[in-house]
A and B are shown apart, each in its own frame.
Chain A
Amino acid sequence: MWMKFAKSLIASFFAVLLPLPFANACGISYIGEDYRVALLNPYVIGEEYSAFFYSSEWLNSTQNDTKGNDRKRNCEAWAKYAGNGPTVAEVRAVVYDANYDELMNAAAEGVDYQRFSGNSFYQFLSKKENKAAFDYLILAKAYEHFSALETTDPWADPWSSDSNAAMTEAERGKKSVQVKMAKQFKEVKDPFLKRRYAYQLLVMSRYNGEAERFEQLYAEHFRDDRSDALSAWATFHRAAIVEDSVEASYLLAQSFRDCPEKRIYCYQHFDKSLTDRALGFCKNDSEKAMVIALTALRNPGKAFQQIQQIQNLDANCPLLPLLLVRETNKLEDWLLTDDVTGMGTAYYPDLYTEEKWEWNNQQWVEFRKLNKETDRKYLATVREFVVGLASQKAVSQATDLMKLLAGHLYFLDKQGVQGEKFLKAIPVKTTVPIAEQQWTEQILLLLNTADISKPDVKAQLVALLEKLDKNKAKHQRGQRDFAALNLMLSQAYEKKGDLLTAFCLNNHALNLPTADRNGYGTAYYELIAFLDWKASEKNIDDILALKDKKDKTAFEQYLTTAPLPSHNALLDLRGTISFRKNDLQSAVSAFEKVEKDFWKTKYEFAYHLVSDPFTTATDTLHRGKFPVSKTAFVKHLIELENDAKAVPSKATNDYLLLGTAWLNCSYVGKSWMMFSYGNSVSENGDSEWFAYNFQPTSEEMKAVYYGASRAYEYLDKARASTKDKEVHARVDYLKAWHKSLNYSLTQAEQDEMYALEWDKQGSYLLDKEMAYFKDWAKTYKSTSYYKERASNCPVLVTYFGK
């Protein structure tokens, strides 16, 4: 099945190059996180809350923090129990990193068990006198094992394993463990172990729905004794079993703080509609701040008011840095994602849709502008708040972070000088993530305040980019963020008219989806797409010169390490740019430098440049042969042009051939690949579904390619050069043929057609097409050319007779 899928995927990548219509059943789509712009790395606050970093998805990750304070406290308690010999890491290796089977194998093999070789906590457990402790851990692991049991046959294909068998076994296993635990709870004297057995029974009563038993165990062992991680976890379990959903929300908010390994559950089950009532359960401002913080965390929109409330209630609320970083990342998404990628903000999915299909729909442009104006005002509000925090000496909340955020928010608002003040205030000795974030900030500062065309600024930029490049794999979305930064720089250089630098930086960012690279391209085209419709011949010469330059500066070196097209591909593009402008001598001079076999062996040239461009083929078959190379073809065009001017008697035929050739090099012709690097159905229509990046952008080029204006010029010259009705018939036929193919139905016509029975729709379309031949048929019915066309085209006969 995978194979089939893979093949169809490959086929779809290349379908774009076929001059054949293809089903519009599906297309390229992106997940918001693929293209969201985030220049502030949220890891500046560490990894602890990474699951809750701002994301266009519900959660940034579904991994709980397993290195948090709760587990640490529990490991410390075990280490203390073992006489303070073992380290937390040694306890963790046994208590958390090993599974049930591993502990059972370890128990069977004793000190010989390789995995715990040298582990002093394991050595402690292996001693005969500590068997009760080891037994407890094995039972606890057994309960964990049966609670998560997915299969009773680990060899089976996970998709076809028998889940009923696993459920039955899990139930049997859990019951058996529960009986043993209950027995141990009664018998064991050691208070350390007794408390742990109590906790296990409490967990079981939660999952068994035994509320009364739960409350009894909770009251007896955990309500008043808050000395360890077990009591924090017991409170978390209580949140899941209490009937009052308001109290549950209150407990979940407190457990979010105290139980890092349970945070995702707390986040998911916290009911933010009950916030006001949950505040009633709070015993102090700190608890209130947690309830509001969780509400803010569940807020995908503007959470500033809640942040302000938290700050007023508890300036030391542990979630405050996270919430401020989230708000900054939101602002970046709302303000920058569209500017950089042209795809709007990262799509926030609902339950059923996760991907974005319409990224450049023109109807939203005005709203995007409007939204950005609002967001810019919001940016100022958030920034002022952060500036206030960063300026207060007494603020205990990671002061360096506040300075960083203040600077960053100023840069987002394009106020470089003010931002720089805060950046400079961060001491050299700061955390590693903040130090690393400053590389990005320095780039933003240069973008805001410096002349980026100056060599010394370029030298500074490259030094920073190289550091970031080395660092980009460090975090989940580092590559995306690095690409976005390159693209921002590319856009800045393009604004300054430096297309060479803009191109190379753009190609450093090819992995970032944008509206201009909408995924329907080929790798070949991706490399030249930036240049295709905006570069001049000189731009291409500059790139070639830079590639060949021996003593490159560090900045130039960086530019040329981007994925770049080969010399041949660049020369081919240069020739194509000239060819499109009908500067045939210039085209030849570039094409002549391309290696001989290039068009035969590379890309899809040999697949599409097949037919004789001087022949009119009005069906889908190829006829004749394309000249030996693009160079030979263009040289022939030059000869025809010269010949037509020098020998008037040959002008009619020469212009006919030139007109035919240019018609073949237009969108509907067989040699379209002389003019464009891609071709697809309905390119020339209005539908945004078919907005491909290989399409011409200027009206002039659209007229030449879709409107075949140059072909018409030559055909008209041929017509004007003779009174021969046969020539006129040929010229007018070609124009009618082109118009019939180039026509798109208006919306009204589409409605009219789709209102018809399915089997009538083909005839409707044909009627529209053949209407273009009506006058032609009437005028030239008596000519030999009419008969020639009629013999090749039975439809003509059907509509207009022999």
Chain B
Amino acid sequence: MKKAAVLLASAALVILLSAALLRKPEPNKLPSGCNFYYWKTTLEFGKTDKALADSLGMKRFYLRYFDVDWSPSLEMPVPVGKLDVDYYYNGIQAENMVKIGDYEVVPTIYLVNRVFEKNFNTDTLAARVSRKIAEFNSTLAYQITDFGNDLERAEEPYDWSLPDSLMPYNLFQKRISEIQLDCDWTPKTRDRYFKFVKAMKKANPGMTISCTVRLHQFRDREQAGIPPADRGTLMCYNMAAPKDPTTLDAVFDASLVNGYLKNGDYPLDLEAALPLFSWGALFHENQFKGLAAGLSELEVKGNPLFTPVSEGRYRFTQDTVFADVYMRQGDIVRLDEATPTELAELSELLSKIKAVKNISFFDWNPSKIRNYHVDEICKKFNR
């Protein structure tokens, strides 16, 4: 009798535990946490990355699976720049195992705006994109599961009674409850893009479909429209044209923020994405020559190749090939990046907008995460 009771209690516990593990977050509900985008084409997220992500309380990981661009040769939208998730397991490479199994991955698809200038069937595209996402989910689930000997979990016993539904690769897939669509739509492409968003909702019942919203789309919502999504991510960066030599800071310009956010609330619940990236905009006689990706003040300050001109602007002191661009003595590099203080202030400002429920960062960059004190920004916002 006693045994039966214990058995019943254990069964109940297993069911409860399974229910808790398998429960999908409700659509539109934004769990708090310090979330990140991952925008590279190769997925490298090892144990040191995971340790940092866990220390920040990361819950969601917006992982760019692929882009969709127009193929003039095939005359249809096609997937390009796919995330490389192929992984060959062996002992040596186990050290580099991708450690994203514990997070809620949000498949994120960047759609080049020119696609929606063309004529095609949005339902077909939605079906194709959804199928491709499912393929990625399944491949990723396999690739991220430790089948071998994980030395860090050496003492954990193998649970022989674990049902298939609770195996890590299944849990990983079941945890995926949202797809994010990223497109810099314009009034010209709005209708077709929104039709596609609706088709994605129809093709993925039970999934949250979210859309990125750029600052100009947030501000000029009457022309831009509100995407028919379950929620949105407000991209709080790329505030001005990088090619324009008069731009103060193309990534983040504190003086422009208020203007973009002046309309206040938004009809969709939003997460706000803050910039953790930088670049150097290169100019020759005020003519834009290109971008030096990742360049920040750390690399420029004190470097004899540059001499400061004004805030965020440096002059080349000699002829050189820089970021694959031939720069002449006298040319200018403008550093486009937010300062840690600016990000903290932006977060403060965003916390006052009712629609903004949470913040995230673009994109995953451990050194910048430390330099910008992302942990403090998150804590402050979620307080």
Contact = CB atoms under 8 A, between A and B. Distances in A.
Interface of A: 2-3, 6-7, 9-10, 13-14, 31, 34, 87, 89-90, 93, 100-101, 104-105, 108-109, 117-120, 142, 145, 152, 154-155, 157, 173, 477, 479-480, 483, 510-513, 519, 521-524, 526-527, 563, 565-566, 568-569, 601-604, 606-607
Given A108-B72, A118-B288, A154-B79, A566 B155 contact: yes
B157 A101 contact: no
A120 B287 CA distance: 10
A104 B73 CA distance: 8
B149 interface: yes
B207 to A, nearest CB: 19
Nearest to A526: B149
Interface in B50-96: 69-74, 78-80, 90-95
Contacts, number: 134
B289 interface: yes
B120 interface: no
Nearest to B323: A89
Contacts of B145: 6
B121 to A, nearest CB: 13
A526 B243 CA distance: 56
B291 A523 contact: no
B90 A34 contact: yes
Contact of B160 (A108, A157, A513, A607): A607
A388 to B, nearest CB: 37
Given A155-B79, A602-B157, A118 B290 contact: yes
B289 A118 contact: yes
Nearest to B154: A523
Contact of B325 (A118, A154, A526, A602): A118
B157 A607 contact: yes
Contacts of B43: none
A522 B149 contact: yes
Contacts of A511: 91-92, 94-95
Contact of B142 (A6, A523, A563, A607): A6
Given A10-B147, A34-B92, A145-B73, 15 more contacts: A13-B147, A89-B324, A89-B325, A105-B70, A105-B114, A479-B92, A479-B93, A512-B92, A523-B149, A526-B154, A527-B151, A563-B152, A569-B154, A607-B157, A607-B160
Contacts of A154: 71, 74, 78-79
For the complex of A and B, list the 9 residue pairs with the smallest distance between their C-beta atoms, beginning with the closest: A89-B324, A523-B149, A104-B72, A118-B290, A523-B154, A155-B128, A602-B155, A87-B326, A563-B151
B220 interface: no
A523 B151 contact: yes
A100 B321 contact: no
A118 B325 CA distance: 9
A513 B288 CA distance: 53
Contacts of A510: 91, 151
Interface in B102-135: 114, 128, 131-132, 135
Nearest to B287: A118
Contacts of A34: 90-92
B157 A87 contact: no
11 contacts: A2-B141, A3-B170, A93-B324, A104-B73, A105-B70, A154-B71, A511-B91, A511-B92, A522-B149, A523-B148, A607-B157
B150 interface: yes
A480 B92 contact: yes
B149 A13 contact: yes
Interface of B: 69-74, 78-80, 90-95, 114, 128, 131-132, 135, 138, 141-142, 145, 147-158, 160, 164, 167, 169-170, 242-243, 282, 288-291, 321, 324-326
Contacts of B167: 3, 6-7
A100 B92 contact: no
Given A3-B170, A87-B324, A527-B151, A118 B282 contact: yes
A663 B223 CA distance: 84
Contacts of B95: 479, 511
**Dominant SS among interface residues on chain A:** helix
Nearest to A158: B135
Contact of B288 (A7, A104, A117, A522): A117
A637 B79 CA distance: 69
Given A13-B147, A524-B154, A483 B92 contact: yes
A157 B135 contact: yes
A609 to B, nearest CB: 12
B91 A513 contact: yes
A78 B131 CA distance: 42
B135 A10 contact: no
B148 A13 contact: yes
Contact of B114 (A109, A120, A603): A109
Contacts of B71: 101, 154
A89 B321 contact: yes
Contact of B78 (A13, A109, A155, A569): A155
Nearest to A79: B326
B155 A603 contact: yes
B157 A603 contact: yes
Contacts of B325: 87, 89-90, 118
Nearest to B160: A607
Nearest to B281: A118
Contacts of B242: 117
B140 to A, nearest CB: 11
A7 B145 CA distance: 11
B91 A119 contact: no
A155 B120 CA distance: 15
A488 to B, nearest CB: 16
Contacts of B156: 602
Contacts of B288: 117-118
A513 B128 CA distance: 43
Nearest to B89: A9
